[in-house]
Structure 1
Amino acid sequence: MQSILILVRQPQLGLAELESLYGASSIKLINNQAVGLSVDHQSINFKNIGGSIKLAKFLHELPGSDWDNTVRKIAKLLPKYINDLPEGKIKFGLSAYGFSINSGVVNRSSLFLKKTIKTTGRSVRIIPNNETSLGSAQVIHNQLTSPLGIELLVINSKSRVIIAQTVQEQDIKSYATRDHGRPKRDSKVGMLPPKLAQIIINLAVGDANSSEKPCPLVLDPFCGTGVILQEACLMGYRAYGADLEKRMIDYTNANLLWLTAQSQFNSKSWGLLQSDNGQHCAKLEVADATRHQWSHRPDFIACETYLGRPFSSQPEPKILQEVMQDVNLIHKRFLQNVARQTEPGFRLTIAVPAWHIGNEVKHLKILDNLEDLGYNRIEFVHVASHSLIYHREGQIVGRELVVLVRK
């Protein structure tokens, strides 16, 4: 175990993403918030990973699971952790995961560790906790991943405790810009978060170490306002988008032109590619995904499909049944169209609707007949495939992520 990742609110999504990118054998589950990875943190392109909020380097594994005992052990190790920090005032933060404690306990422990740091002759500023773990805004604002910063992650895993140091934090400012800063948005067609778009793409493309397709073409046949195409471009992929509505193509075009004009996304740290005409990174066309013959052969498909009618409250059973039948037929025709134009082994990830009705989740019926349509659904080792549902509190229509391979 070389790296530690703290997962998003729905950890099964981040877990499936990491398994797709690095393989099941590289993953070691720590608890329901954290996962270990047998990959050096410097080899992980963290800004392209949507399902994790923190990347850390592994420091130590300690026996036991008692918080106070763990803190005393950390105090003995702390001089070693700060030994290589440059001269100047240290900024120190502490985040706990999986312990039955509150933020007050963490703050008292931070003050105890502050005394240890001061015995080494170093000055230090403690970052106070509002929760048991520091949020992304706190880590970034207080520069805890800078040369003079240190955030220790203390992660409980039953009979052992993992100690790690944060090296990268999710860039909340960049995500906000790529979400709310785009010139064209439309709540009626759904607001796909950029982090979820990254997960969908990574589930489709898979192996992060594969060199078979150094610059694959990713197709989104339901591109909407272009969030998946935007994220594919930033990952350095060639992007190809289509939508039934010309208005959506116009919106996507405007959003991608805006993206290309943003200097923050044109640095070498991003993979942003421009198209042959030098305007932006994607090929776009108006097309019906259920019958269109694609003019360019994609290497992968990554998309949020048609989610059907949005509901702000629980629908009548008859209305829901009609919506589900209509959506099911569209998905059947879409998958048949893809099967006609792809070869065995072709991989795609589609975000399809999943309806939360009372305490029940209703799935698309077509998911029970995927083999008849020429597909196998990818099964994961560390997470159940049917659990990959992105859903917010109170939301009726969630998004089920379905990873398929052509038979």
Structure 2
Amino acid sequence: MQSIAILGRQPALGLAELESLFGAEKIHPLHGGGALLDISAGAVPFARLGGVIKLGTVLTILDTTDWFEIEKFLLPACKEHSQYVPEGKLTIGLSVYGLRVSTKMLERTSLSIKKTIKTTGRPVRIVPNKTLEISTPQILHNKLTHENGWELVFYRDGSKTIVARTNFVQDIESYTARDQARPMRDSRVGMLPPKLAQIIINLASSNTSPETVLDPFCGTGVVLQEASLMGMNAYGTDIEPRMVDYSIANLKWIREKWRIDNYVRIEVGDATNHQWKFEEGTVVACEGYLGLPFAHLPSDKQLQESVQASNTVMKAFLKNLSTQAGSGLRAAIAMPAWHVNKKIIHLPCLAQIEAFGWQRVNFKHVNFDDLIYHREDQIVGRELVVLEKI
């Protein structure tokens, strides 16, 4: 059974994440920020995905993109399938991607669905469309992923329309708590979003389920906390004792709040020379040294100094890690990429990866330049570099 994934703000990150976990042959990118998966929705560990905001089961694929033809199919189908839903009021919402339809047309269709199902004696409530897509808060508030809820998704794929029912959406309250409610935060060292930390871990995981995630630049412990929530052991080091203390406090909080009982080890260590204790099943997932967080366009001198400083640290780190890593060890590292005058400046050491004993992992569905986490007007982006030890 196929499923459909609605990807996040930068779809390429979600595609790479899915490809890493399930293999390129099971992922079929869709125009507009979606993907078909040759995997059932129930077999996807949705809670650990950072780049997928919605996941649903494909019900059928129609040979039309005309909304009136879609409605002709929809009305009898909804009436038929409503009898298999447990007793009680049925709540329905419609979301459309890429089809030529207005919110007024959706409202009319929703009312027609309601009238059709009510002829069976079942009470129905419709979630109104403020936009063509039902928002995540609306889905959660109206319990559209519960057994008495339907969010029906209509996604245009060329001359066809994919019809799906949503099974999972991202838990926005949980992400907010994991980002903002942690006891120890420090904006001066940058704040890695939990969703991005999940993506980095999944890029490092490949199609395996690693036992331990090592973060040699652990900072306040975001990668370690997300690894813990995925059921993995967390091993972190940082050159600053203060950051180690912050990580320990945050991991204590996350373990108590989510009742996690994984192994955690956090210690002071300079990533350029520290000797880690590698266990079988370890992967490396981290955000490296990004240099200065420019709020405004830097001068050429400032930019070069920041590039050089970051390059020196990351080059030494890759060399140090290479001397300790066994063949095949996988690492996903967020490295700085500077957006200046409509150009992207990469770390120079990326051109020397093989000389350090690494090879860069290629993805079928995305290019290297697509794997840069970046917001508009942001100067320092995060380039997600996936490596394997030669």
Q: Same fold (TM over 0.5)?
A: yes
1:370 is paired with a residue whose SS is: helix
Distance 1:386 1:215 in 2: 27
**Shift in Å, 1:28:** 1.9
Partner of 2:346: 363
Gapped runs of 5+ residues in structure 2? none
> 1:157-208 deviations in whole A, cap 9, x for unaligned?
111100000111111111111111101111111111111111100000111x
Q: Hey, what does 2:174 align to over in structure 1? A: 174
Instruction: State the match for 2:317 in structure 1.
Output: 334
User: Shift of residue 155 of structure 1?
Assistant: 0.3
Does the 8 Å contact 1:33/1:97 carry over to 2? no
Name which of structure 1's ranges 98-107 and 17-26 shifts more when overlaid on structure 2: 98-107
Instruction: Confirm or deny: 8 A CA contact 2:231 2:262 kept in the other structure.
Output: no
SS, match of residue 351 in structure 1: strand
Residues 1:222 and 2:233 aligned together: no
Q: Deviations over 1:256-294 (max 9, x none)?
A: 1111121xx22xxxxx3333xxxxxx1011110011111
Q: Is the 8 A contact 2:6 2:34 kept in 1?
A: yes
Q: Deviations over 1:289-327 (max 9, x none)?
A: 011111344711000001100011111112101111111
Aligned amino acid, residue 352 of structure 1: M
Q: How far does residue 101 in structure 1 lie from its aligned partner after superposition?
A: 3.8
Counterpart position of 1:375: 358
Q: Does 1:64 align with 2:52?
A: no
The equivalent position to 1:286 in structure 2, one of 251, 268, 273, is 268
One-letter identity of the residue aligned with 1:357: V
| Cα offset, 1:215, TM superposition | 5.3
Per the alignment, residue 233 of structure 2 pairs with: 238
2:287 maps to 304
Q: Does 1:161 align with 2:153?
A: no
Q: Distance in 2 between matches of 1:194 and 1:130?
A: 29
> What per-residue deviation string (whole Å, max 9, x for no partner) do you get for residues 25-56 of structure 1?
11122323221111122211111111101111
After TM superposition, give the deviation of residue 19 of structure 1 in Å.
Answer: 0.5
Match in the other structure for 1:120: 120
Give CA-to-partner distance per residue, 1:49-95, whole Å, 9 cap, x none.
11101111110000022233222222232223323111111110000
Change (3 A) 1:364 1:103: farther
Aligned equivalents of 1:334 and 1:406: distance in 2?
A: 14
User: How do 1:71-110 and structure 2 match up within 5 A?
Assistant: 71-110=71-110
Q: How many Å separate the matches in 2 of 1:328 and 1:215? A: 28
Separation of aligned partners in 1, 2:345 and 2:71: 46
CA RMSD of aligned residues (A): 1.5
Aligned equivalents of 2:318 and 2:309: distance in 1? 15
Q: Name the structure 2 match of 1:347.
A: 330
The answer on whether the counterparts of 1:238 and 1:273 sit within 8 Å (CA) in structure 2 is no
Structure 1, gaps ≥5 residues long: 267-271, 276-281
Q: How many angstroms apart in 1 are the aligned matches of 2:116 and 2:361?
A: 50
TM score, norm. by length of structure 1: 0.92
1:70 and 1:175 map into 2 onto residues whose CA distance is 36
Equivalent residue for 1:273?
A: 261
Q: Which moved more, 1:250-259 or 1:298-307?
A: 298-307
- Tell me the equivalent position of 1:45: 45
How far apart are the structure 2 equivalents of 1:95 and 1:38? Answer: 22
Deviates more, 1:121-130 or 1:304-313: 121-130
Give the 5 Å matches for 1:147-158. Answer: 147-158=147-158
Amino acid at match of 1:283: R
Percent identical: 49
* Alignment-derived partner of residue 389 in structure 2: 406
User: Alignment partner of 1:17: what SS?
Assistant: helix
Mapped contact 2:232–2:262 kept (Cα < 8 A): no
Native 8 Å contact 1:204 1:349 kept in 2: yes
Provide the rounded CA distance (Å) in 2 between the counterparts of 1:170 and 1:359.
Answer: 33
Contact 1:91 1:144 in 2 (8 A): yes
TM norm structure 2? 0.96
Q: Structure 2 vs 1, CA of residues 401 and 37 (structure 1 numbering), >3 Å: closer, same or farther? A: same
Tell me, in whole angstroms, the C-alpha distance in 2 between the residues paired with 1:333 and 1:388.
Answer: 23
Counterpart residue type for residue 268 of structure 2: V
Out of 253, 269, 277, the position equivalent to 2:248 is 253
CA separation in 2, counterparts of 1:285 and 1:59?
A: 50
Aligned partner of residue 362 in structure 2, secondary structure: coil
Q: Is the 8 A contact 1:237 1:273 kept in 2?
A: no
Quote the Cα distance in structure 1 between the aligned partners of 2:30 and 2:292: 39
Q: Distance in 1 between matches of 2:382 and 2:102?
A: 33
Residues in 2 aligned to 1:109 and 1:392: alpha-carbon distance in whole angstroms: 37
1:218–1:240 CA contact under 8 A, matched in 2: yes
1:374 CA drift (Å): 1.4
- Specify the alignment match of 2:32 in structure 1: 32
The answer on 1:325 being equivalent to 2:285 is: no
